[in-house]
Amino acid sequence: MTDEQKKAASLEQRWQNALLEEQRLNDLEQRVSRDEVAATELGQLPNFPRKFLCIHPLVYHSISVVPEHRQLFVKMAFWDWVAVCILLVANCVVAIGVTSAPIRSNVAVNHDINKVLNGVLAILYLIGIPLSFLLWYWRIYRGCSTGRPPQHILALCGLFIALAQAIFALVGSESYGVCGIILAKWIQETRATGVVVPVAVIAVLWAVQAVFTCYMITKMFIFYRRDLAARRAARRHGINVVG
């Protein structure tokens, strides 16, 4: 190899090292920005949920801290959580209401729905309102705003739990406080015409929720893979540059 070729090879190697260093600095800048956002959040006063009666804000929540290209997904997840809250309340009201309707006079049944167990469970499921926020929405928000893989993993675990709950509600076994397929069939066979309609509507909404939860699982897995790859690349580039 001539001196000129050696010089060209040396310049090319320096150029590659410079590119790697630039990439490392860019990744470091993004990490610092995320840490600054996290530190800013720690310094902010809690603003969610809104103060109402005995309810006081517990956490600081602002979608503006989420990177712009992920804000739409986080907004969708937030409004889906709101929809789940409404759905749980509607499920409770309908599950208790339709089972309290009288049995048709021309229908003979050996056993009816256990109204006490059905009502207790329907009310108990309302605990899903704060649990769904903690188990999956808050983890989605934190994962998308910080880019930390552990938050993505926690969000995925919470979403799988939410998917299992939506499927369970969609099936809707009798006396279990959920408006699903089995309960709708039983109500149609034993109650007056039209009583089954709200149960069927709730069952359809549970099906929609299950489908959307699958979508959120897919998106969070994609974000997890991207953020994990970015962190690995940052570490690898840092090692290469130093070496």
Instruction: Give the per-residue pLDDT at 33.
Output: 58
pLDDT (tens digit, 9 = 90+) per residue, 38-48?
555 555 777 66
Q: What is the mean pLDDT of residues 166-191?
A: 89
Percent with pLDDT over 70 in the chain: 74
Closest CA to 198 of 103, 80, 101, 81: 101
Query: Can you give the pTM of this predicted structure?
Result: 0.76
Q: Token digits for 145? A: 């705003």
Element (H, E) at 112: none
- Per-residue pLDDT at 98 exceeds 70: yes
Instruction: Give the per-residue pLDDT at 53.
Output: 63
Neighbours of 180 (CB within 10 A): 25
The SS3 call for residue 59 is: strand
The SS3 call for residue 87 is: helix
Instruction: Give the per-residue pLDDT at 228.
Output: 87
Of the pLDDT bands very low, low, confident and very high (cuts 50, 70, 90), residue 242 is very low
- Per-residue pLDDT at 213 exceeds 50: yes
pLDDT (tens digit, 9 = 90+) per residue, 99-145?
888 877 776 667 778 889 989 999 999 999 999 999 999 999 999 98
Q: What is the mean pLDDT of residues 5-30?
A: 67
